[in-house]
């Protein structure tokens, strides 16, 4: 067959030739689609937005806990302020959160779930909710439901669930931190008591001794090194428990602790027993002075009743359904009708061309088609 290019004018001519077909296709398909959209379930959308509150953790709160901490300016405390350990998106998408919503709103009956399956109800609920974390850390909760009032209530309830679980998780972390620091403080207090008793016994046995000023300053410097080491160990333990072993600040602290351990290995050993006892007592005093305000801060964090999240916008009842969108359905129907019209016109034009230019071939095609139809019949 002869193949020739089709110009724009040819296309226009075909459109004009088959304009009635195109118009009827457009009317029938678009009209049918719009009519069907009226019978589809209407879903209302309600949105609630929340923002994490600026709640500092245990270590970040120690920056000004006591004047004695000014000597520890190299501490990692100031470098880890404001870290949030709660995964809000994980909480919202958790099975427990979904299960609470299904239970509260009896969604098994609302969704008419077959076999009363809770898992299927949760699956439908997941398809009707959207959680978005924006760049400014705002969490947006979108809920779709056939009942506008229920959609708004569910969106607000998701925010309540997020706040409740977040507060509980932060409370657990604060309690674990307090218990850890309290245990370390009790251990240090016992060691300090033993050092004081050993030093007193040595003084009673050998009479009172006075530390030379230079030796005393040296012992204080060594004590500060040991105290810094103890403080780093506590920070490493807290970070590992709260943030996991992959935390970047934890890696930096481990490197810092390794360097500090090298310095402690090079500390000269004082030959005199008295200076050794005095040095050990100063070390335990420094650690004790660091732990006391830290324990108080941990107790404050445990007893805080501040919300982890703040609701920026509560969900309100939507006045109009969000979907199905009749405009979207109509647009899709127009595109489909045009596509079908082009396809149908191409087929009709092809057969018309074959009939006029190749009548014998056209007869063969008709015979073949009608023959198949007879075979089928």
Burial class (CB in 10 A: 0-12, 13-18, 19+), 245: exposed
Vertex 233: Cα angle to 227 and 239 (nearest 5): 135
- Residue-wise pLDDT tens for the chain (377 aa)? 455 566 667 677 777 878 888 888 888 888 887 777 677 678 889 999 988 765 545 555 444 333 333 333 333 333 333 334 357 888 888 999 999 999 999 999 988 888 888 899 999 999 999 998 888 888 899 999 988 999 999 999 999 998 888 888 777 777 887 888 888 888 888 888 888 888 778 777 766 555 555 556 666 676 677 778 777 887 888 777 777 777 778 888 888 888 888 877 766 554 346 667 777 787 788 888 878 887 777 777 767 666 677 888 888 888 787 776 667 777 888 888 888 888 888 888 777 777 777 777 777 777 776 765 444 33
pTM: 0.53
- Extents of the domains making up the chain: 8-40+324-376, 44-313
Vertex 342: Cα angle to 337 and 346 (nearest 5): 145
N-to-C CA span, the chain: 33
Q: Are strands 44-52 and 309-313 parallel, antiparallel or unpaired?
A: antiparallel
Go through the chain and tell me how many residues it has: 377
Vertex 274: Cα angle to 273 and 278 (nearest 5): 120
139-145: strand order across its sheet: 129-133, 139-145, 44-52, 309-313
Residue 125, number of CB atoms within 10 A of its CB: 21
């Amino acid at each position: 067959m002869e193949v020739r290019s089709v110009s724009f004018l040819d296309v226009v001519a075909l459109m004009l030739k088959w304009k009635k077909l195109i118009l009827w296709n457009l009317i029938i398909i678009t009209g049918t689609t719009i009519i069907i959209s009226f019978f589809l379930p209407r879903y209302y959308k309600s949105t609630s937005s929340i923002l994490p509150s600026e709640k500092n953790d245990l270590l970040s709160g120690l920056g000004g806990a006591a004047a004695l901490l000014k000597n520890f300016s190299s501490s990692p405390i100031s470098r880890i302020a404001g870290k949030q350990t709660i995964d809000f998106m994980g909480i919202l998408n958790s099975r427990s959160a979904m299960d609470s919503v299904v239970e509260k709103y009896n969604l098994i009956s609302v969704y008419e779930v077959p076999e009363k399956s809770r898992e299927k109800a949760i699956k439908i609920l997941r398809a009707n909710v959207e959680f978005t974390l924006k760049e400014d850390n705002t969490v947006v909760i979108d809920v779709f439901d056939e009942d506008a009032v229920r959609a708004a209530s569910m969106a607000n309830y998701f925010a309540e669930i997020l706040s409740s679980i977040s507060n509980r998780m932060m409370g657990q972390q604060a309690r674990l931190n307090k218990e850890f620091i309290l245990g370390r403080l009790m251990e240090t207090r016992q060691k300090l008591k033993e050092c004081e008793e050993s030093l007193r016994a040595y003084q009673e046995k050998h009479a009172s001794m006075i530390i030379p000023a230079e030796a005393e300053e040296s012992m204080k410097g060594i004590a500060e090194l040991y105290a810094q080491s103890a403080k780093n160990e506590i920070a490493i333990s807290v970070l590992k428990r709260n943030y996991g072993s992959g935390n970047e600040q934890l890696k930096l602290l481990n490197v810092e602790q390794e360097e500090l351990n090298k310095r402690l290995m090079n500390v000269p050993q004082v030959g005199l027993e008295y200076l050794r006892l005095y040095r050990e007592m100063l070390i335990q005093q420094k650690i004790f002075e660091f732990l006391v305000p830290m324990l108080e801060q941990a107790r404050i964090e445990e007893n805080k009743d501040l919300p982890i999240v703040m609701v920026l916008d509560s969900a309100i009842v939507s006045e109009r359904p969000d979907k199905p969108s009749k405009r979207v359905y109509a647009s899709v129907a127009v595109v489909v009708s045009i596509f079908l019209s082009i396809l149908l016109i191409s087929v009709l034009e092809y057969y018309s061309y074959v009939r006029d230019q190749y009548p014998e071939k056209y007869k063969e095609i008709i015979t073949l088609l009608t023959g198949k139809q007879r075979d089928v019949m």
